Amino acid sequence: MRTTLRDTPPLRDTPVPRTRGLDSTLALVRDGYDFISDRCRRYGSEVFETRLLFERTLCLVGAEAAKVFYDPDRFERAGAAPARLPKTLFGQGGVQGLDDAAHRSRKRMFMSIMTPESIRDLVDIFEQEWQAALDRWKRVQSIVLYEEVSWVLCRAVCRWAGVPLAAYDVRRRTADLQALIAAPAAVGPAYWRGRRARRDCERWLAEIVRQVRRGELTAPVGGVLHTFAEHREPDGHTFAEHREPDRQLLPDRVAAVELLNILRPVVAVDRFITFAALALHLHPRCREQLSDGSDPEVARRFTQEVRRFYPFFPAVVARVRTDFDWNGVRFPQGRRVLLGLYGTDHDPRLWSDPDQFRPERFVDRPEDPWTLIPQGGGDHHVNHRCPGEWITIELIQSAVTLLASGMSYDVPDQDLRVSLRQMPTLPNSRLVLANVSQR
């Protein structure tokens, strides 16, 4: 019988548990999403110490741990992530690595475009692109849903953001954005593919930013491209090459990094949408409840359970800003810390039957910024929580409605297993649909 945190004794006021051996990097690769939560169960603790890439690291799980982790007086992000993350996933100089006033200023730039009207515009464009793709899906015997949804999302987010994207370039740019997502946990060719994609995408978007700034490309005021191209850092947070009062704009490359921090996460919703389609297939009762598309609350609960249940980001990283004690454990300044997102979303102290897919758990459940954290915890405006989380929710919910009430299809025999060792993961077959038709 599998042991859970609920089965273990209360946290002891003793020295922090430590993993054995010189380094646990290979164990992290082997255990994947379960690495942190499995060891917390083993030690009966919300925190343990290990070595990852030969650096001492504290690992945490749970809502109370999340509250501590997102305290800006205790933790900082600058220099926290392993080098491969900014070189692939995040980009160097992006919002994920900023703290204090610099982070707040950059976060305001992101949040300024996350209005209900703007998000609705993106969803409308997504649905238009989905319908155009559906017209093509009906004419072929089968499709790989993950690949098709990726292209739909890439076209949609570029249209919404005002980023020019030629039809012949959709697959190339989508592949680059997918490579950024896959590279951090990859080794060998997949990692270097992500490094190359990072360079190519930054060059592409930096040139577009320059065209906007030179007046060669029109970007609607208030839109994503215009907002990012014209964003100015506050006094004291300008870049060295833009010291003059009229040169406080982000450097072209940093503006490109932040544009990628819009495009990449939206394309990454392809994984959640693929998992949503998988859940519809595995839980026919849910599909029946969603089949008429008349109750958005049912779709919302289903969407939230997809985000809770299926693996997305395994963990987030920070460094201790100043010495403090929590739950009898010393957190020394400079120590790297990982918070398990997947483990918290499956913590039996927070979720009954966490390994069961049950959308009804969200009936009358109040929103809590520390328990459902697939894209980070805390306040979107203040903390390092994904500013595009609302976009993610709305896109998944739209896709769920389109899948359940807007089209019919068969799911042929295929390998639908989801490995928790692969990060980020997908169904092994990437979900093949056959005989697609429109309802």
Instruction: Give which of 71, 96, 62, 107 is closest to 370, Cα–Cα.
Output: 62
Range 302-313 average pLDDT: 97
Range 4-16 average pLDDT: 49
Range 116-127 average pLDDT: 98
Tokens standing for 232?
Answer: 């100015």
Domain boundary assignment for the chain: 5-438
Contact partners, residue 407, CB within 8 Å, separation at least 6: 134, 436, 437, 438, 439
Instruction: Give which of 399, 402, 383 is closest to 391, Cα–Cα.
Output: 399
- Sign of the dihedral defined by the CA atoms of residues 64, 312, 166, 395, in that order: negative
Q: Is the pLDDT assigned to residue 79 strictly greater than 70? A: yes
**C-beta neighbour count of 128 within 10 angstroms:** 14
Are 104 and 395 contacting, i.e. CB atoms less than 8 angstroms apart? Answer: no
Tokens standing for 106?
Answer: 């950059």
- β-bridge partners, 76: 319
Tokens standing for 351?
Answer: 């979720």
In 222-292, which residue ranges form alpha helices assigned H by DSSP? Answer: 224-230, 252-282, 284-290
Any known ligand binding at 386? yes
Q: What single-letter amino acid sits at 346?
A: H
pLDDT tens per residue, range 17-60 = 999 999 999 999 999 999 999 999 999 999 999 999 999 999 99
pLDDT tens per residue, range 324-380 = 999 889 999 999 999 999 999 999 999 999 999 999 999 999 989 999 999 999 999
- Sign of the dihedral defined by the CA atoms of residues 165, 167, 169, 174, in that order: positive
User: CA-CA distance, 398 to 435, in Å (whole number)?
Assistant: 21
85: confidence class by pLDDT, cuts 50, 70, 90: very high
Residue 124: C-alpha distances to residues 120, 271, 296, 307 (Å): 6, 20, 16, 21
30-39 burial: b if 16+ Cβ within 10 Å, else e: ebbbbbbbbb
Q: Is the pLDDT assigned to residue 4 strictly greater than 90? A: no
Kindly report the pTM of this predicted structure: 0.93
Are 140 and 432 contacting, i.e. CB atoms less than 8 angstroms apart? Answer: no
pLDDT score, position 242: 42
Say which residue the tokens 């957190």 belong to.
331
Out of 1.20.140.10, 3.30.200.20, 1.10.630.10, 1.25.40.10, select the CATH number for domain 5-438. Answer: 1.10.630.10
Mean pLDDT for the chain overall: 93
User: CA-CA distance, 430 to 50, in Å (whole number)?
Assistant: 34
